[in-house]
Amino acid sequence: MQIAKARGAHVIGTASAAKHDLLRGGEHGARSAGLLVPGGLLISALGGNPGFGAEQAAELGIRFEIVSVRPSAGDLGELLALVESGRLKVLVEETVPLADVAKAHELVEDGHVTGKVVLIS
């Protein structure tokens, strides 16, 4: 969301009530799609939402895209510039010693992590 805003997009986020403060703004896909005007774009970083996908989006006259990360040197340079300018802030939820990498995986797999889990040596 921060990157899209930095590039000039009008961004609206949806989330569970516990995460409203994070976004300022279960069944995310269908509920979120209902908020868009025809021609709008729904982006998911989750690899899709159960019960919602491109077919349902087309029926509503919107686009649905799944985002995955494939960093490149150029992209990382752009991100660094956003961080340095204060326009991109990383939310670190927990730091975990590298020796406890299994714990870090458990935290992420649980699905309730809001920020990043960072491994430290």
pLDDT tens-digit series, residues 29-57: 777 888 889 999 888 876 555 567 888 89
Please return the burial class of 40, using the count of CB atoms within 10 Å of its CB with bins 0-12, 13-18 and 19+: middle
Q: What is the mean pLDDT of residues 88-106?
A: 92
Angle at CA of residue 46, ends 22 and 10, nearest 5°: 50
pLDDT tens-digit series, residues 58-70: 999 999 888 877 8
